[in-house]
A and B are shown apart, each in its own frame.
Chain A
Amino acid sequence: MRTKATLLVLLFLTLIGSIAVPAFAQEDETLGVEVKLSAKDGEGVRQPVVGAHFDVTLDGETIGSGETDADGVFFLEVDGFGNYEITLDPASLPEGVTLTNPDRNVATAKVEEGRNRGRALFALETVEGAANDVANASSQNKFLQLTLDGTKLGLFLAMGAIGLNLIYGTTGLTSFAHSEMIVFGMLTAYMFNYYGLAAGIGLFADWGLPGPFGSGVNLIFAGILATIAGGLLGWCLDVFLFAPMRRMGVSLIAQMIVTIGLSLLMRYFLKFLFGGDQRFFKDYTAQSNIDLGIVGTTPKDLISMLISLLVLGLVGLALVRTRMGKAMRAVSDNRDLAESSGIDVQRVIRLVWVAGGALAALGGIMLGLSDNLNWLTGFRNLLLIFAGVTLGGLGTAYGALVGCLIVGIGVQLSTLIIPAELKNAGALLVMVIVLMFRPQGILGKAERIG
């Protein structure tokens, strides 16, 4: 009881601290306009564009001009709010780099209340055309490339889905909040990567502490911390929310609606803290493709996939070989029988929440690395995760992995036939077909689930 109380107090302080700190969406004080120019070179590596010339005007009056520096950044300080027009001089672009749309060399950067840095975007490309190996590849290459991308997506989704599956298996609850636990992991890693714990718990912001407490750490360390944080979140959710609900006898449907409310709360709280923009990790972001013969991938994608495979393999092994894993499977199978054979069901459920949270966080970091780092990533992938879990079999141990891989590959391959923005519709179609003909999924038992 006392540990719970102390933890509650700590949690409360953290919450207060994180609200007392400037939200990460805030910027520093000088007003100005900024443009970051980059373009992919011949090998598909994104390079900064140096020496491009810009003129800035406001309502027709010239404010200033300048050039992009060695990092491809052009910045000009301004005196007040307004819609500044930034004109790019195409002749100043380096050899081989042109505007994607030659008529669009003027963009507007808004400087206003709450937005001290107006930003403008210019689309550039290299003369050889977009150095994108999917667009250039022949259709056989495209097929294999998409399969690889789909496998990557499937692996990352599987990490989120395993938690969902285990939670469903042991408690019978379909948790809609799992997608937000993924985003939580992603954004916590981002916070550790850029700001360190000091910014998260605003109390220590100005003490100049080292590393994870001070100014941000390497992504690997940040990732480990975020995974731990995800596990901690899972623990807190079970201890403070779901276990009390189970004790109070709240029915499963009501609990499910509570998870929907929880997901709303978490999603918009994270949006409030981090803002609505797309973000990128500090490390390992811009990498060049390695050519693996017929397909290409970046080192970070390759390593993420390998890590995912390793983690998923370890989880599978743990479920089969360890005592706790056996206990989890027993509880999933038949809760009352497991309890009567001496297994502490509540402890198993708590562990499932911790593991589910940690895995979801890890999956979120992987998704964030593959350019999906924003507050909506969870909700967007919720459908895919559910489709994967349904396809594999809700409640089975390996079903999540199998289902998510199929969904991931299927969704990416479907872009060959249907427009890219509708590719998630393919996942829905898969789910509907599975539900009509084999509702227990591929690996599930053919029992009545009606």
Chain B
Amino acid sequence: MLLATDIISVLSQGFTQALGPEAVVFAIAAIGLNIHFGYTGLLNFGQVGFMLMGAYGIGVGIVILSLNHWVAIAFGILLAAGFAFLLGAPTLKLRADYLAIVTIAAAEILRLIGRSNSMDKITRGAEGLNEWSQPFQDMAPIQSTTKSIPLLLHEDLQITWTKMQWFVVIYGWIAVALLVVLVYFLMKSPWGRVLKSIREDEDAARALGKNVFRFKMQALVLGGIIGGFAGMFQVIGKGTVQPDTFVPQITFLMWTILILGGAARVFSPVVGAIIFWFLLTVAEGLLTMLAETEWIPTSIFRSTQVGDFRFMFVGLSLMLLMIFRPQGIFGDREEMALDDR
């Protein structure tokens, strides 16, 4: 039977994920993606590659190059920016489809390079870099190993995070707030207005004398750096820099979050991330519960296959959203970067 306590635990998991490190990381990365797609109309399907660059920046910086951790963060930013240049240079002059193809491929290649044995000395292959997190651990706001806080609705509804997860949660949400304010003011500025005009009609912007390529590149770099920050938070929370954390599925989850929240709105990446992770975690928890208590017979579906359902659900949501409500929850259909081709 589906006990009330099981449902409470599934809900607890839902809140833990919705407000926790995963949501923070995805919110930050989606803010970057919002700059790319929401405001400029760039089809960046390799945001996970920027996250990887940021993460490896601090990992490699501290472990291999023995940098101070603040310098390593700067190094990560540099790597993410460099990656943006690399991707943007050939493709920003061309049709949007080409950027999508190149970014999907490039992000995957980065992961393969990170895994490969030949780059072992720098990246430590599939095992990754592990000994770099001490300076961040010392900065953690809550020094106990784990800490739970109760939610007010029910006595058993609890959120539990480990020390480094609390690091990501507290500093991460602060970062999110700062980034939201930054994006708000940027997009109200003349620079932001040019980006929007490029999204709407590139030729018109060019006819007015704006160097479209330069603005697009700036947007790509800025969004990429923000993606790099997301990657840094991701690995600080986990304690290890491994290539297989940065799989292409993350980009697809992020796109769904962005579209769900509504592109080109400052708050939508944040709200989208929270809602998405809550729904996904609760759905998966319920499915797992149904599979384990054999409400759904094991011949159809085992609890180990819940992961597959996650991505089927994400794929289907992406399709339905784009067909029926591309502006998501908060967006404005007029402002979507969907031209009339």
Which A residues fall within an 8 A CB radius of B? 19-20, 22-23, 26, 114, 172, 174, 245, 248, 250-258, 260-269, 271-272, 379, 382-383, 386-387, 390, 419, 421-422, 424-425, 427-428, 431-433, 435-436, 439, 449-450
Contacting residue for B322 out of A258, A268, A383, CB 8 A: A258
Contacting residue for B102 out of A261, A265, A419, A428, CB 8 A: A428
Closest residue to B305 on the A side, CB-wise? A272
Contacting residue for B89 out of A267, A382, A436, CB 8 A: A436
> Which B residues lie within 8 Å of A22 (CB)?
299
State the CA gap A264–B43 with chains docked (Å).
17
> Which B residues lie within 8 Å of A254 (CB)?
322-323, 326, 338
State the CA gap A174–B45 with chains docked (Å).
14
- Asked whether, in the complex, the Cβ of A261 is within 8 Å of the Cβ of B341, the reply is no
Asked whether any CB of chain A lies closer than 8 Å to the CB of B98, the reply is yes
State the CA gap A258–B102 with chains docked (Å).
18
Inter-chain pairs besides A251-B340, A272-B309, 15 sampled, C-beta below 8 Å: A245-B323, A248-B323, A253-B43, A254-B322, A256-B97, A257-B318, A261-B252, A261-B315, A261-B317, A264-B249, A383-B108, A421-B116, A439-B98, A449-B94, A449-B95
Most central of B96, B116, B255, B308 by chain A CB within 10 Å: B308
**Which 6 residue pairs are nearest across A and B when measured between Cβ atoms?**
A264-B315, A261-B318, A265-B315, A261-B319, A251-B338, A268-B311
Contacting residue for A250 out of B311, B317, B323, CB 8 A: B323
> Which A residues lie within 8 Å of B309 (CB)?
268, 272
> Which B residues lie within 8 Å of A114 (CB)?
298, 302, 304
Main secondary structure of the interface of A (DSSP, over half): helix
State the CA gap A162–B186 with chains docked (Å).
44
Closest residue to B115 on the A side, CB-wise? A421
State the CA gap A301–B100 with chains docked (Å).
33
Could you jot down 29 A-B contacts, CB within 8 Å?
Answer: A20-B300, A23-B305, A114-B304, A250-B323, A256-B43, A256-B100, A257-B255, A257-B259, A257-B322, A258-B319, A260-B45, A261-B252, A261-B315, A261-B318, A264-B311, A264-B315, A265-B311, A265-B312, A265-B316, A268-B308, A382-B104, A422-B118, A424-B108, A427-B105, A428-B106, A435-B91, A435-B94, A439-B98, A449-B95
Number of A-B contacts (CB under 8 A): 142
Asked whether any CB of chain A lies closer than 8 Å to the CB of B90, the reply is yes
- Please give the distance in Å from B147's CB to the nearest CB on chain A: 33
Asked whether any CB of chain A lies closer than 8 Å to the CB of B117, the reply is yes
State the CA gap A314–B196 with chains docked (Å).
48
- Asked whether, in the complex, the Cβ of B341 is within 8 Å of the Cβ of A253, the reply is yes
- Please give the distance in Å from B215's CB to the nearest CB on chain A: 15
Give B188-243 interface residues, CB cut-off 8 Å to A.
Answer: none
Contacting residue for B339 out of A251, A382, A435, CB 8 A: A251
Interface size on B, residues (CB 8 A): 55
- Please give the distance in Å from A10's CB to the nearest CB on chain B: 21
Most central of B105, B311, B312 by chain A CB within 10 Å: B105
- Please give the distance in Å from A422's CB to the nearest CB on chain B: 6
- Asked whether, in the complex, the Cβ of B341 is within 8 Å of the Cβ of A251, the reply is yes
- Asked whether, in the complex, the Cβ of B337 is within 8 Å of the Cβ of A253, the reply is yes
- Please give the distance in Å from B160's CB to the nearest CB on chain A: 27
- Asked whether, in the complex, the Cβ of B112 is within 8 Å of the Cβ of A424, the reply is yes
Given contacts A419-B118, A428-B105, contact A272 B252 (CB under 8 A): no
- Asked whether, in the complex, the Cβ of A383 is within 8 Å of the Cβ of B341, the reply is no
- Please give the distance in Å from A202's CB to the nearest CB on chain B: 10
- Asked whether, in the complex, the Cβ of A428 is within 8 Å of the Cβ of B109, the reply is yes
Given contacts A174-B100, A248-B323, A425-B109, contact A268 B315 (CB under 8 A): yes
Asked whether any CB of chain A lies closer than 8 Å to the CB of B290, the reply is no
Give B103-133 interface residues, CB cut-off 8 Å to A.
Answer: 104-106, 108-109, 112-113, 115-118
- Asked whether, in the complex, the Cβ of B339 is within 8 Å of the Cβ of A253, the reply is yes
- Asked whether, in the complex, the Cβ of B312 is within 8 Å of the Cβ of A386, the reply is no
- Please give the distance in Å from B238's CB to the nearest CB on chain A: 23
- Asked whether, in the complex, the Cβ of A264 is within 8 Å of the Cβ of B90, the reply is no
Given contacts A262-B319, A421-B115, A424-B112, contact A390 B311 (CB under 8 A): no
State the CA gap A288–B339 with chains docked (Å).
55
Given contacts A253-B43, A383-B105, contact A261 B316 (CB under 8 A): yes
Contacting residue for B101 out of A26, A269, A431, CB 8 A: A431
State the CA gap A449–B202 with chains docked (Å).
13
- Asked whether, in the complex, the Cβ of A267 is within 8 Å of the Cβ of B311, the reply is yes
Given contacts A256-B100, A419-B116, contact A431 B318 (CB under 8 A): no
